[in-house]
Chain A
Amino acid sequence: MKILLIEDEKELALSVVEYLSGESYLCEVAATFTEAMKKIEVFDYDCILLDITLPDGNGLKILEELKKENKQDGVIIISARNSLDDKIKGLQIGADDYLTKPFHLSELTARIYSLIRRKQFNNSNIVRQGELEIDLLAKTVAVNKAVVTLTKKEFGLLIYFIGNKNRVLSKSTLAEHLSGDFADMLDNHDFVYAHVKNLKKKLNEAGCEQFLKTVYGTGYKWEG
Chain B
Amino acid sequence: MGRMKNLLQKSLKQLTVFAFIVFALSIPSYFLLVDWIWLNELDENNELIAERIENEFNEQKISDEKLAQSIQFWNEIQPVSKVALIHQPLVKDSQYTVMRQNPYSTKEAIDRFRGLKTNIKINNQNYSLVVETNVEETEETVGYIAMVTLLFFLILVVGFWILNRRLSKKIWQPFQDTLQKLKSFQLNGQNRIQFQDTDTIEFAELNATLDKLLQHSIATYKNQKEFTENASHELQTPLAILKNKLDILLQSDDLTERQYHIAEEMNKALIRSSRINKNLLLLAKIENSQFDSSELIRFDTIALQSMEALQEHFKEKKIDVSTDILSNVEVKGNSGLTEVLVNNLLINAIRHTLPEGSTRITLSKSAFEVSNSGEQALNPDLLFKRFSRMSDDNRGSGLGLSIVQEICKLQGWTVKYDFGNKEHLFSVKF
- Enumerate chain A interface residues (CB-CB to B < 8 A): 9, 11-12, 15-16, 18-19, 22, 80-84, 101-106, 153, 167-173, 176, 179, 181-187, 190-191, 194, 215-219
Identity of the chain A residue whose Cβ is nearest the Cβ of B241 in the assembled complex: A11
Given contacts A82-B278, A185-B395, contact A218 B264 (CB under 8 A): yes
B247 near A80 (CB under 8 angstroms)? no
B251 near A82 (CB under 8 angstroms)? no
A102 near B274 (CB under 8 angstroms)? yes
A80 near B267 (CB under 8 angstroms)? no
Among B240, B264, B290, B395, point to the contact of A184 (Cβ < 8 A): B395
**Bound Cα distance A127, B4 (Å):** 81
**Bound Cα distance A183, B274 (Å):** 11
Q: Chain A residues near B255: list those with CB within 8 A.
A: 168, 216
Tell me the number of A-to-B contacts counted with CB atoms below 8 Å: 124
**Bound Cα distance A15, B242 (Å):** 10
**Total B residues in contact with A, Cβ cutoff 8 Å:** 47
B239 near A187 (CB under 8 angstroms)? no
Among B247, B281, B316, point to the contact of A106 (Cβ < 8 A): B247
B241 near A167 (CB under 8 angstroms)? no
B267 near A172 (CB under 8 angstroms)? yes
Q: Chain B residues near A105: list those with CB within 8 A.
A: 244, 247-248
Given contacts A80-B236, A104-B243, A185-B396, contact A15 B248 (CB under 8 A): yes
Identity of the chain A residue whose Cβ is nearest the Cβ of B258 in the assembled complex: A216
B368–chain A nearest beta-carbon distance, Å? 18
Whether a CB of chain A sits under 8 angstroms from the CB of B131 is: no
**21 pairs from A and B in contact (CB 8 Å cutoff):** A19-B248, A80-B237, A80-B240, A82-B281, A83-B285, A102-B241, A102-B244, A102-B270, A104-B247, A105-B247, A171-B264, A172-B264, A172-B267, A173-B247, A185-B275, A185-B347, A185-B351, A186-B350, A190-B316, A191-B316, A219-B250
Q: Chain B residues near A103: list those with CB within 8 A.
A: 240, 243
**Bound Cα distance A19, B313 (Å):** 32
Among B245, B260, B263, point to the contact of A15 (Cβ < 8 A): B245
Among A15, A169, A173, point to the contact of B241 (Cβ < 8 A): A15
B343 near A15 (CB under 8 angstroms)? no
B244 near A184 (CB under 8 angstroms)? no
Among A18, A80, A191, point to the contact of B312 (Cβ < 8 A): A191
A214–chain B nearest beta-carbon distance, Å? 11
